[in-house]
Amino acid sequence: MTIISQTLDAFDDIFPTDMAPRLFQAPGRVNLIGEHTDYNAGYVLPAAIDRQIFVAATARKDSRINIYAHNFNQWDRFGIQNDLEKLSGNPCGNYFRGIVWALLQQGSELCGMDAVVSGNIPIGAGLSSSAAIEVAVGFTLLQLSGSEISLKDLALAAQKAENDFVGMRCGIMDQYIACLGQADHALLIDCRDLSYQNLPLPFEASVVIVDSGVHRGLMDMEYNSRREDCEKAARHFGVSVLRDVSMEAFRERAHAISAVVQRRAHHVISENNRTLAAADALRARDLSAFGELMIASHASLRDDFEVSCPELDRLVEMALDVEGVYGARLTGAGFGGCMVALVKKEAVDDLTETIETNYGSVAGRQASIYICRASAGVSEIEIEN
């Protein structure tokens, strides 16, 4: 049974009604390069992937929202206008409530709804399941309510929900790619002015994502402290964000800040340069150059930003030992989660076999491997009768 069938069957079981539900999806994402640059107003190069959050829903005549999170066997029920307190012990509920709160803040008029939410994005793996939930639920509500906002504004609302309701100080990348992804393309995003450019991914390469099995709670780790380090560095250089610091300026003045903050700033500044170079490599279809930039990105995330872990480092080493792998790096915020590799199509089986054979013996855990294609952003799915 497909995940779509499961979602629709669950809706029919939970909300018996003569009204057929509508079905919506929002994708997870993999970031090919450009890590921890988005909240520094820099550049990122993600792609939406064919792992999604699905919402089956019908509108209600009142302002109540009833959402069942199928993967977690968990309910959230609240009123749009007066029940939007943050919950403890119910992360999904906070994403649901957060996007409703943010859309109301933007002035959207929303109806109530009954909904089932499910998905096949690995939770806690750094593939942006939270942004996909926010975008999918927000898009569903807007469509059911007949309220129209741009996909860009939906992305901004989802980011506001994450920042100001959930309490995770993420940048715009995850929500933006969930809204604006395009099939078979990566999306170069300028996180300062939110301009973007779709860049075709060469058909001869596959994107392979490997979940290390090390799952992290970003709020419990050091994501926010990394952001604070970046803000300290920006203040030292007299700018609002590290995007505005050149490598030359960094070398001239970095000696006056702590070694830790130096390393954080060096990563962000060099990663912005790598991301722009990677976009040029894609335009030129130079996958070897793109791969070298991925490798350098991982080293910087490991050594300067210190967000890797032994399992991710080992996965990258394994991948780079396989002939036909252009490059590999951790993807997402780090502290666990996933590696992404750009691989010749004919080398995918060798990479898969290498990891399946060797990773468990050195890491003491199993990896999950996803061979992905770049997919489209949020949308409604036509239900076949």
The set of catalytic residues is 174
As beta bridge partners, residue 119 has 53
Q: Helix (H, G, I), strand (E, B), or coil: what is residue 334?
A: coil
Closest of 113, 69, 60, 61 to residue 87, by C-alpha: 69
Number of helices followed by number of strands (H, E) in the chain: 11, 12
Token look-up 């940048």 returns: 171
Q: Please, what is the end-to-end C-alpha distance for the chain in angstroms? A: 16
d(CA 221, CA 297) in angstroms, rounded, equals 21
Rg, Å, the chain Cα set: 21
Provide CB contacts within 8 A for 303, sequence distance 6+: 263
Compute how many other C-beta atoms are within 10 angstroms of the C-beta atom of residue 317.
12
Task: Provide φ and ψ at 57, rounded to 5°.
Answer: -155, 155
Residue 232 burial (10 A CB sphere; 0-12, 13-18, 19+): middle
- Of 251, 221, 236, 229, nearest to 305 (Cα)? 229
Side-chain half-sphere of 6: how many Cα atoms within 13 Å?
13
Distance, in Å, from the CA atom of 98 to the CA atom of 284, rounded to the nearest integer, reads: 41
